[in-house]
Amino acid sequence: MVEQRIENPRVGGSIPPQATKSCNAQLSWAFCFAAFPTVRSSIHIVDVDRTETWTRYRAGMCDTCVANCCTMPLEVRLPDLVRLGVVDPFEALHEAPKQIAKRLEKAGLIDHFNFKREVFTIARRASGDCHFLDAKTRRCTVYEQRPETCRKHPQVGPRPHHCPYGAKR
């Protein structure tokens, strides 16, 4: 049986009901929080755009995550696109990046190309998911060939060693 828990608004976690009962009687909240350790809520609200809501990364977390990191804008470079197999190595060597970007945009593979930085932004679906994310399994369909940015996450990123973890329901 799953124990019912009461949300603890101070820390975004929960405490058991007996804690709140005791607290309501005559004990202070501070005492109750000390007596009944708070459990971090599994429905902790994550906003990928607010890094303060992110969680410190631990090995194995991805196994139970809905892949929120794969809903963030993804910037890649030409070698990434070659590894992904969407640009031919010959084309990468002989075609102007701007022309390649035009073709990829037409094919719906990129949303944007930054001419100055020669950075391509991979297309996202209406849901915000990366073009390469499997919507059902929440797994990357090109994991072995994934771009450099994805390989470095979350060691490198907006908040190093933290990620927008969201537990699967």
Q: For residue 14, what are the contacts with CB-CB under 8 A and spacing of at least 6? A: 5, 6, 7, 8, 38, 39, 41
Cα 92 from Cα 159, distance rounded (Å): 32
Which one-letter amino acid corresponds to residue 122? I
What Å distances lie between residue 51 and 7, 46, 137, 164, 168, CA to CA? 22, 9, 25, 7, 20
Asked whether position 150 contacts ligand SF4 by CB under 6 A, the answer is: yes
* Between 14 and 55, CB nearer to ligand SF4: 55
* Between 23 and 122, CB nearer to ligand SF4: 122
The count of residues interacting with ligand SF4 (CB under 6 A) is 10
* Between 15 and 130, CB nearer to ligand SF4: 130
The interface with ligand SF4 within residues 126-145 (CB under 6 A) comprises: 130, 132-133, 140, 142
Cα 102 from Cα 84, distance rounded (Å): 17
Stretches 13-21, 35-43, 91-99, 146-154: which one binds ligand SF4 (CB under 6 A)? 146-154
Cα 54 from Cα 60, distance rounded (Å): 16
Q: Least distance in Å: CB of 135 to ligand SF4?
A: 10
Q: Least distance in Å: CB of 72 to ligand SF4?
A: 7
Which one-letter amino acid corresponds to residue 137? T
The interface with ligand SF4 within residues 46-85 (CB under 6 A) comprises: 70, 74
What Å distances lie between residue 134 and 46, 62, 159, CA to CA? 21, 14, 25
Which of 110, 146, 163, 164 is in the footprint of ligand SF4 by CB under 6 A?
Answer: 146
Query: Which two structure tokens, joined as six digits, stand for 3?
Result: 């124990």
* Between 66 and 142, CB nearer to ligand SF4: 142
Q: Least distance in Å: CB of 151 to ligand SF4?
A: 8
Which residue ranges make up the site for ligand SF4 (CB under 6 A)?
70, 74, 130, 132-133, 140, 142, 146-147, 150
